[in-house]
């Protein structure tokens, strides 16, 4: 039951490159990924302080082999390109470290030091990348860091390339789009537990690396598991056309909020005629709604910003590089690359809106939509990370929400009661499984996955159903061109065979938690209140934050934790407890689990009133569950 299965004849035939209409003879991307190669790490493994590997550059070396029947040949090709690793020259004074994490780290040489763009997820991988650069280009200090946007793979390794002390001393500037920290913290703290659990599926956390397991996520191979850090920006960029000079390097910025991230920016280096497109134009169709969960992104705005990048920068550029994948060289080539990426997002947006205004639902549009030949025939528009299917559904969701207008879908039963009724109506579990086996043999895996899900949610102990469902998910994964779809399917199969793995990596780091504002802190706490348990509770606590010279009130009533700044004229009713502390102490006792009694005893926290109210409030807070079930109830 636990071993991966071979590809069925149906999937083997679908995955045969010889039967594909894709342009496998076009090897320009292979040449581009090798261009400018300088060196790789002597040892492929990057280790953490405990000696355990946080990243292995060579674990996907099997991708050098011919594509097997258990992998979609288009995804196999993409993964082989993305898995290449080392230090590369992009153009004079610009270098990239690729294949050291999910993202790239770019290094720009200034007059005296270097500017690091997007220092990966983990400080360990970022430090290894910088060390490789210095081994071949010399010991240059880091004089600047640029975060292109608010996702952790673009800032988490910052303390591997610089220190808080260097930033505080003015030796290194940290530049980011305005609002970056707010959005980074919100994403990692508010829904971080649920996103982290689903991210384990998205990146294939438990899957063996190999032809029957993880072969890559399309955007990058996987995520490192080292130490995530954060240094707050010293310069916020808020307007397009703004120019900064860092260590003699001129940088022109273009703001692109609401594209791939809520806070994101492209920028241009006129001295090098080089354009950085952040994560807005990479060698894949990106996500409009990532499978791990997020707010739906706006393809209409995304397309407009790509047009603006073309008209503002493309004609002045000799090379385009991004936070993932490999560069594009040549003014004509990079202009067409941007134009096709723009056309892709615009087409999906416009055609989805055209169809929904004709009465089609998101499911129907996703099934029927057809891309123009120019988009189908370009490798970089394929859905290796995002997909046409789930992006179209996301566009529908953005405009129309979850409800498709059919009253039958307005008040459906939750999964378990629905499954129980479905199985009963279908003649019982045995009958469903028997029919599912025939559909499996016929290669109708999508339908098998649907009906067996009913059986498993009606009877999670049904081993036969789980075995067949695992086999089904596996075949769907083998056939997927999309890396995250493959990982989701194969992770589902893995957990049906082995049980849940939980969340193998943390969803937040101390530096990220420390960046919480007081408002964000209590927003996060309010999300943990067990409403029914607190129906009748009424607790008012005032928090005097000494280093911010403010007073903040929390009031638990009707199962809701309300909070706001307090002015002297609005201090009624009187709080039952007033706590005086710094913001750091507040974070420690409210979020990090520090002992409030010990803090009071050592004088770092002062209280007036009934100290038991804090304990009572804490008693109404639930802990999030990082191990919740996904493929079983």
Sequential DSSP letters for 272-308: TTEEE-TTTS-SS---SS-TT--PPP-HHHHHHHHHH
Dist. CA 2–CA 86, nearest whole Å: 36
What are the pLDDT digits (tens) for 351-403? Answer: 999 999 999 999 999 999 999 999 999 999 999 999 999 999 999 999 999 99
Phi, psi angle pair for 553, to nearest 5°: -105, 135
Q: For residue 65, what pLDDT is reported?
A: 97
Q: Does 137 score more than 90 pLDDT?
A: yes
Q: Does 118 score more than 90 pLDDT?
A: yes
Average pLDDT over residues 7-19: 95
Q: For residue 130, what pLDDT is reported?
A: 99
What are the pLDDT digits (tens) for 289-309? Answer: 999 999 999 999 999 999 999
**For the chain, percent of residues with pLDDT exceeding 90:** 92
What are the pLDDT digits (tens) for 334-348? Answer: 999 999 999 999 999
Q: Does 315 score more than 60 pLDDT?
A: yes
Q: Does 508 score more than 60 pLDDT?
A: no
Given CA atoms 481, 482, 488, 490 in this order, what sign does their dihedral have? positive
Report the mean per-residue pLDDT for the chain: 96
Q: Does 504 score more than 80 pLDDT?
A: no
Dist. CA 470–CA 4, nearest whole Å: 9
What are the pLDDT digits (tens) for 227-251? Answer: 999 999 999 999 999 999 999 999 9
Given CA atoms 489, 492, 498, 501 in this order, what sign does their dihedral have? positive
Q: Does 1 score more than 60 pLDDT?
A: no
Q: Does 268 score more than 70 pLDDT?
A: yes
* Inter-residue contact 101 to 55 (CB < 8 Å): yes
What are the pLDDT digits (tens) for 524-576? Answer: 999 999 999 999 999 999 999 999 999 999 999 999 999 999 988 777 899 99
Q: Does 49 score more than 70 pLDDT?
A: yes
Ranges of H-type helices in 357-444: 362-368, 373-376, 388-400, 415-425, 429-441
pTM: 0.96
- Burial (CB count within 10 angstroms: exposed 0-12, middle 13-18, buried 19+), residue 164: middle
Helix (H, G, I), strand (E, B) or coil at 454: helix
Q: Which residue do the tokens 């199969």 mark? A: 493
Q: What is the DSSP string of 521-564?
A: HHHHHHTTB-TGGGTT-EEEEEEEEGGGTEEEEEEEETTEEEEE
Q: For residue 409, what pLDDT is reported?
A: 98
Give the confidence band of 505 by pLDDT, cuts at 50, 70, 90: low
Q: For residue 188, what pLDDT is reported?
A: 72
Q: For residue 2, what pLDDT is reported?
A: 66
Q: For residue 594, what pLDDT is reported?
A: 85
Domains of the chain: 9-397 (3.60.15.30), 409-498 (1.25.40.880), 516-620 (3.30.1050.10)
Q: Does 633 score more than 70 pLDDT?
A: yes
C-alpha closest to that of 215 among 47, 61, 103: 61
Dist. CA 127–CA 130, nearest whole Å: 5
Give the confidence band of 14 by pLDDT, cuts at 50, 70, 90: very high
Given CA atoms 446, 447, 448, 453 in this order, what sign does their dihedral have? positive
Q: For residue 173, what pLDDT is reported?
A: 99
Average pLDDT over residues 411-433: 98
Give the confidence band of 190 by pLDDT, cuts at 50, 70, 90: confident
Q: CB 111: neighbour CB atoms within 10 A?
A: 9
Q: Does 225 score more than 60 pLDDT?
A: yes
Q: CB 26: neighbour CB atoms within 10 A?
A: 11
* Inter-residue contact 201 to 491 (CB < 8 Å): yes
């Amino acid at each position: 039951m636990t071993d991966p299965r071979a590809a069925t004849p149906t999937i083997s035939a679908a995955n045969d490159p010889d039967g594909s209409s894709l342009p496998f003879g076009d090897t320009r991307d292979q040449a581009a990924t090798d261009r400018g190669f300088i060196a790789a790490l002597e040892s492929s493994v990057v280790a953490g302080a405990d000696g355990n590997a946080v990243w292995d550059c060579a674990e996907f070396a099997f991708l050098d082999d011919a594509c097997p029947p258990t992998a979609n040949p288009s995804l196999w090709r993409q993964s082989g390109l993305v898995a290449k690793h080392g230090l590369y020259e992009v153009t004079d004074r610009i270098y990239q470290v690729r294949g050291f994490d999910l993202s790239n780290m770019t290094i720009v040489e200034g007059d005296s030091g270097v500017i690091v763009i997007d220092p990966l997820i983990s400080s360990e991988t970022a430090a290894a990348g910088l060390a490789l650069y210095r081994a071949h280009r010399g010991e240059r200090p880091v004089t600047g860091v640029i975060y292109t946007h608010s996702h952790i793979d673009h800032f988490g390794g910052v303390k591997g390339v610089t220190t808080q002390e260097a930033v505080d001393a003015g030796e290194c500037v940290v530049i980011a789009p305005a609002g970056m920290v707010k959005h980074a913290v919100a994403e990692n703290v508010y829904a971080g537990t649920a996103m982290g659990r689903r991210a384990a599926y998205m990146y294939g956390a438990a899957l063996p690396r190999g032809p029957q397991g993880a072969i890559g996520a399309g955007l990058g191979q996987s995520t490192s598991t080292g130490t995530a850090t954060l240094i707050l920006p010293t310069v916020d960029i808020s307007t397009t056309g703004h120019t900064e000079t860092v260590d003699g390097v001129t940088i022109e910025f273009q703001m692109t909020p609401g594209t791939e991230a809520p806070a994101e920016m492209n920028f241009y280096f006129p001295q090098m005629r080089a354009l950085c497109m952040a994560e807005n134009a990479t060698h894949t169709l990106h996500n409009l709604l990532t499978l791990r969960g997020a707010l739906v992104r706006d393809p209409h705005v995304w397309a407009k910003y790509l047009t603006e990048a073309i008209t503002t920068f493309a004609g002045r550029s000799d090379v385009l590089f991004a936070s993932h994948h490999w560069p594009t060289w040549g003014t004509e080539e990079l202009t067409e690359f941007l134009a096709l990426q723009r056309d892709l997002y615009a087409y999906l947006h416009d055609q989805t809106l055209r169809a929904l205004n004709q009465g089609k639902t998101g499911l129907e549009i996703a099934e029927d939509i057809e891309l123009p030949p120019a988009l189908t025939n370009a490798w970089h528009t394929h859905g290796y990370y995002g997909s046409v299917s789930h992006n179209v559904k996301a566009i529908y969701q953005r405009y129309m929400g979850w409800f498709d207008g059919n009253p039958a879908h307005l008040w459906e039963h939750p999964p378990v009661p629905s499954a129980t009724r479905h199985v009963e109506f279908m003649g019982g579990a045995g009958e469903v499984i028997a029919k599912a086996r025939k559909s499996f043999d016929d290669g109708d895996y999508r339908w098998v996955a649907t009906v067996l899900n009913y059986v498993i949610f009606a009877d999670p102990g049904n081993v036969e159903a789980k075995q067949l469902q695992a086999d089904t998910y596996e075949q769907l994964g083998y056939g997927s061109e999309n890396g995250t779809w493959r990982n989701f399917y194969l992770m589902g199969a893995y957990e049906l065979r082995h049980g849940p793995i939980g969340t193998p990596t943390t969803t937040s780091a101390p530096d990220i938690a420390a960046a919480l504002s007081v408002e964000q802190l209590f927003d996060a706490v309010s999300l943990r209140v067990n409403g029914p348990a607190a129906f009748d509770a009424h607790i008012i606590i005032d928090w005097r934050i000494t280093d911010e010279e403010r007073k903040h009130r929390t009031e638990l009533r009707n199962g809701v934790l309300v909070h706001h700044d307090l002015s002297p004229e609005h201090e009624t009713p009187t709080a039952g407890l007033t706590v005086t502390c710094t913001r750091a102490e507040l974070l420690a006792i409210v979020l990090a689990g520090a002992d409030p009694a010990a803090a009071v005893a050592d004088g770092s926290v002062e209280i007036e009133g009934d100290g038991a109210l804090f304990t009572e409030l804490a008693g109404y807070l639930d802990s999030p569950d990082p191990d919740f079930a996904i493929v079983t109830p």
